[in-house]
Amino acid sequence: MSNRIYPHPIIAREGWPILAGALIAVIVSWMLDLGIITFLFFVFLVFAFQFFRDPAREAPEDPRAVVSPVDGRVCKVEKCTNPETGEDAVKVSIFMNVFNVHSQKSPVAGVVEKVTYTPGLFVNADLDKASTENERNAVTVRMADGRRITFIQVAGLVARRIICYATIGQELARGERYGFIRFGSRVDVYLPADAEIVAQIGDKMTGVSSTIARL
């Protein structure tokens, strides 16, 4: 399971309607000879293809590794309290810009114990207050050894659509796809206080392939 590659389309299914609409717009505007409008639609189509890409990734061999749930840049590493469990924790926040892969994968294997959606604002996801003020969705997983890890999808300035497929009682494998956020956002991972943190502020993460901590 540590190095399993999970099968899924190269293009995330969340983007299929958008890509289909953009392609139709390109074809119709081209047939109508609309010039610059056709070019703009084509540029958007190319952007949408790169945004909704969802490449398969191979997880590290190390069974202790907690993998990055997304592509992006580490913007916060701090000791805190897990807001879903009340336990002492270390938070690792990863910010995604519009050029990162936005498909979210489970950082550990375990059973989904809790899923909590919280409505909120849409301030810049790179800001600290985004974790507590923005719209967000938290998934808490209990691992086989009883330890709990929470990973929270946080909406951003442009991101207005959080998608989460995880359900209570579901068994998630490490690296398994569980959600998506459209157009810029962040994911906060709350790890046990004794976790060995590998990721540092400013590090660039590759979803599933990069290790953020070891347990």
Residues serving a catalytic function are 185
- Element of type H or E holding 50: helix 36-51
DSSP secondary structure, 96-151, as one string: E-TTS--EEE-SS-EEEEEEEEE--B---TTSTTHHHHB-EEEEEEE-TTS-EEEE
Q: Is the dihedral of CA 201, 203, 208, 213 positive or negative?
A: negative
Residue 108 phi/psi, 5-degree rounding, is: -140, 170
Say whether 43 sits in a helix, a strand or coil. Answer: helix
In terms of Cα–Cα distance, which of 74, 93, 73, 75 is closest to 83? Answer: 93
